[in-house]
């Protein structure tokens, strides 16, 4: 598999995340935590931006990004516009870093352990794609529940 496959998927999904956030009727709803859930759409978006900036930007691209994972879940009321800008920056970062990877790089160990395991870079990129898709699905469901189920 070529690195551009991962770029295509991640950029597509980041664009989907932007579309989901822009589809909220009320910007403050992005920060609402629904009963039975633990995260708002805003926090999930911040988490995805932090996750990709860390693993692709910092680990693979040596960007110097310093992740503050706790803030991905504790920050509230970040303006939608700022989140969208962060998503755009992250999509550009993904493109730049992934452009530098070769097929041979995908067969090398990922520079950071995944849990307690050493995994190949290609395997870890599959994980990042599925992680993004999972959380974007949560954002989609969150938005539809807020918009279509009466309170």
pLDDT by residue (tens digit) across 70-112? Answer: 999 999 999 999 999 999 999 999 999 999 999 999 999 999 9
pTM for this predicted structure: 0.95
Q: Which CATH architecture has domain 3-148?
A: Up-down Bundle (1.20)
Neighbours of 11 (CB within 10 A): 16
28's tokens: 């403050």
CB 102 within 8 A of CB 18: no
* Closest CA relative to residue 38, chosen from 71, 68, 74: 74
Mean pLDDT value across residues 60-74:
97
CB burial of 42-61 (b: ≥16 within 10 Å; e: otherwise) equals bbbbbbbbbbbbbbbbbbbb
């Amino acid at each position: 598999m070529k690195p551009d496959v991962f770029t295509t998927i991640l950029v597509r999904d980041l664009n989907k995340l932007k579309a989901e956030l822009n589809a909220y009727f009320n910007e403050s709803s992005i920060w609402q935590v629904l009963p039975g859930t633990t995260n708002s759409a805003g926090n999930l978006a911040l988490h995805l931006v932090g996750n990709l900036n860390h693993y692709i930007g910092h680990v693979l691209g040596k960007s110097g990004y310093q992740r503050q994972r706790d803030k991905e879940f504790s920050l509230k009321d970040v303006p939608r516009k700022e989140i969208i800008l962060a998503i755009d920056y992250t999509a550009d970062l993904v493109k730049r870093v992934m452009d530098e990877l070769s097929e041979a790089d995908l067969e090398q160990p990922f520079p950071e352990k995944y849990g307690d395991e050493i995994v190949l870079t290609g395997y870890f990129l599959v994980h990042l794609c599925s992680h993004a898709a999972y959380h974007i699905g949560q954002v989609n469901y969150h938005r539809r529940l807020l918009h279509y189920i009466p309170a």
